[in-house]
Chains A and B, each alone.
Chain A
Amino acid sequence: MNYFSIFIGAVLVNNFVLAKFLGICPFLGVSKKVETALGMGIAVTFVMTLASIMTWLVQVAILDNFGLQYLQTIAFILIIASLVQFVEMFLKKSSPSLYEALGVYLPLITTNCAVLGLAILNIQNEFDLMETIVNSLGAAIGFTLAIVLFAGIRERLELADVPESLKGFPIALITAGLMSIAFLGFSSLSI
């Protein structure tokens, strides 16, 4: 399995939001404007890549060595939460402009199930470090793609004549479902 097929697989075929249904909370929560959706997507990309590298290292170096695979979930949560905190502090000092741009999204990702899900999937698929990075990057770009597309549709929905009972979240959920069906088409992609 080469890197390219892992990447495309992560972006399109196994899209985190639309095929695996992970990270639905930010997907619905911050998708009202394309601008904020993009901010969220970039923050997720940033954290997902860093977190999966860290978790992979911990898994291989510590958990596998001591036969403690059953501690995976709790250890990963610990790593992700601390990592996000650390990254936030680091950015605040070293790059205030990037910190401003990511804003509130960075701490929000701490408890994002997509980040934890990705870390665990990387281990389950028995990826090596390079494959992990490519897969994480792909998954994060897939998330960004989905949320930005969704935000674009929702911006237009604001102007559409939606029946009273479907206004707001109902129509958003229906839209998400239709997008998911559309992405299902990628599952027959053979790379």
Chain B
Amino acid sequence: MNSVFNAVLTLGGLGLAFGILLAVASKVFHVEVDPKITQIKEALPGANCGACGYPGCDALAKAIAEGKEAANSCPVGGSETAEAVSAIMGLESGEDSEGKKVARVLCSGCDSISKKKFDYKGIKDCKAASMIQGGDKSCDKGCLGYGTCLEVCNFDAIRIEDGIAIIDPEKCTACGLCLEACPKDVIEWVPYDQEVVVDCKNQDFGKAVKDICEVGCIACGICEKNCPFDAIHVENNIAKIDYEKCTGCMICTEKCPTNAISGELEKRKKAYIIEDKCIGCTICAKNCPVDCIDGEVKKVHVVNQEECIGCSVCFEKCPVDAIEMR
């Protein structure tokens, strides 16, 4: 009986002593930390795996709280963690689609329309293929489609379709691994909601491009002449879109003789005038780049839907918000 008593007393005493010691120490050695760090630390998985590049979740939590890292920099936690962290940081969401960029393969020369220089039978890897004469694709700027980018993508966002890689903008987290992996540098950053993109990187002119690819940019400059917003320019024999200026009107998509510019015309938005609100000021008609709005002063204006290109200039200019895009 005595030994049981001793044992309980000893362990209990030790436990109590250490408990008091720690309690006192936590007061004496208390260090003020940013409450955000503690909250973020709790939101993170806490596995201390180091996949983010920091030694443990604490270090990452500190970096996020200090604004050095983005809210979605934990690759393990996924979107749930990113949302929780961004809520703590007071951001709308981890993926603010405003200004969000995604990777995009700037080549649409799939197997059925592009030509091959030779029959490649080697390892199914773009880096290996590109070492032999720059790859089997006749265009030396094009996507080889052997899936080196697909191998490195951690988010299952890349698929190979008909011999070219396609990146799903919904799944892309803009980690940039595919950009580094691609030996042809055919992947570039494009704004998430950008519909109109020049899907070609070939810097040859005219016939040189036409001979090897049906959908390559031939640097004809038709897009440049037709753009109402001065948003597309041919530089180094390749059309480049200024994404800041582009309104997504798809005129260049329509006019491009080789269909090198992406954009689904069916998805094109149209301007509609809300008759109750329109005050007949003619501002929209004056600003329309294609003159498709008819209207006299003080009368309800009418948009000619056949000609409307959905550039949303009128939508922005209307002083009474009487125009909607749909």
A is bound by B: yes
Complex CA gap A79/B10 in Å reads 13
The interface size bin for chain A is 20 to 34
Asked if B55 and A103 sit within 8 Å, CB to CB, the answer is: yes
Which of A79, A86, A93, A94 is the one whose CB lies under 8 Å from B22?
A86
The CA of A79 and the CA of B50, in the complex, are separated in Å by 29
Which of chain A's residues have a CB closer than 8 A to the CB of B30? Answer: 93
A171 contacts partner chain B, Cβ-Cβ < 8 Å: no
Task: Report the separation of the CA atoms of residues A105 and B58 in the bound assembly, to the nearest whole angstrom.
Answer: 11
The answer to whether the Cβ of B132 comes within 8 Å of any Cβ in the partner chain is no
Q: Is the CB of B21 within 8 A of A82?
A: yes
Closest to A63 in B: B10
**Does residue A66 face the partner (Cβ distance < 8 Å to B)?**
yes
- Of residues 25 to 64 in A, which have CB atoms within 8 Å of B's CB atoms? 36, 39, 58, 62-63
Contact yes or no, A89 B26, CB < 8 A: yes
B8-35: contact bitstring with A at CB < 8 Å (1 yes, 0 no)?
0011001100110110011011110000
Tell me if B14 and A58 are in contact (CB < 8 A): yes
A152 to B56, alpha carbons, bound, how many Å? Answer: 21
Contact across chains for B55 and A36 when beta carbons are under 8 A apart: yes
Give chain B residues whose Cβ lies under 8 Å from the Cβ of A3: none
Judge whether A185 is part of the interface by a CB distance below 8 angstroms.
Answer: no
Closest CB in chain B relative to A102 CB, distance in Å: 10
Partner of B55, one of A39, A62, A89, A93: A39
* Residue numbers in A under 8 Å from B31 (CB-CB): 92-93, 96
* Interfacial residues of chain B within 48-74, with CB under 8 A of chain A in the complex: 48, 50, 55-59
Could you tell me if A104 and B14 are in contact, using CB atoms closer than 8 angstroms? Answer: no
Q: Are A103 and B59 in contact, CB atoms less than 8 angstroms apart?
A: yes
Using CB atoms, name the residue of chain B closest to A36.
B55
Q: Given the known A-B contacts A36-B55, A66-B6, A93-B31, are A86 and B25 also in contact in the complex, defined by CB atoms under 8 Å?
A: yes
The smallest C-beta distance from B163 to any residue of chain A, in angstroms, reads: 26
Q: Nearest CB to that of B62 among chain A residues?
A: A100
The residue of chain A having its C-beta at the shortest distance from the C-beta of B57 within the complex is: A104
Is A92's CB under 8 angstroms from B29's CB? yes
A78 to B18, CA, bound (A): 8
CA distance A26 to B30 in the complex (A): 29
Q: Does A75 contact B (CB under 8 A)?
A: yes
Q: A71 an interface residue at 8 Å Cβ cutoff?
A: yes
Set A36, A67, A74, A104: member contacting B58, Cβ < 8 A: A104
CB of A62 within 8 A of CB of B59, answer no
Whether the Cβ atoms of A103 and B29 lie closer than 8 Å is no
Q: Which of A68-82 contact B (CB under 8 A)?
A: 68, 71, 74-75, 78-79, 82
Q: Let me know if A173 is at the binding interface, CB within 8 A.
A: no
User: Contact check: which of B11, B21, B50 meets A71 at CB < 8 Å?
Assistant: B11
Instruction: Give every chain B residue within 8 A of A104 (Cβ-Cβ).
Output: 48, 55-59
Asked whether any CB of chain A lies closer than 8 Å to the CB of B97, the reply is no
Cβ of B112 under 8 Å from chain A: no
Q: B-facing mask of A83-111, CB < 8 A → 1, else 0?
A: 00110011011101000000111001000
Q: A92 contacts which chain B residues (CB < 8 A)?
A: 29, 31
> What CA separation (Å) do A82 and B19 show in the bound complex?
8
Check if B123 is an interface residue, CB within 8 A of chain A. no
Residue B131, interface by CB 8 Å = no
Least CB distance, A74 to chain B, in whole angstroms: 7
Kindly identify which residue among A78, A89, A103 contacts B11, using a CB–CB cutoff of 8 Å. A78
Query: Can you list, as one digit per residue, whether each of B202-246 has a CB less than 8 Å from chain A (1) or not (0)?
Result: 000000000000000000000000000000000000000000000
Given that A63-B10, A71-B7, A89-B25 are known contacts, is A79 also in contact with B55, CB under 8 Å in the complex?
A: no
Given pairs A75-B14, A89-B29, A93-B30, 15 additional interface contacts (CB within 8 A): A36-B50, A63-B10, A66-B10, A74-B11, A75-B11, A78-B15, A79-B18, A82-B18, A82-B21, A89-B26, A93-B28, A103-B55, A103-B56, A103-B59, A108-B48
Closest 5 CB pairs of A and B: A104-B56, A82-B18, A93-B29, A89-B29, A89-B25
Q: Which residues of B contact A (CB under 8 A)?
A: 3, 6-7, 10-11, 14-15, 18-19, 21-22, 25-26, 28-31, 48, 50, 55-59
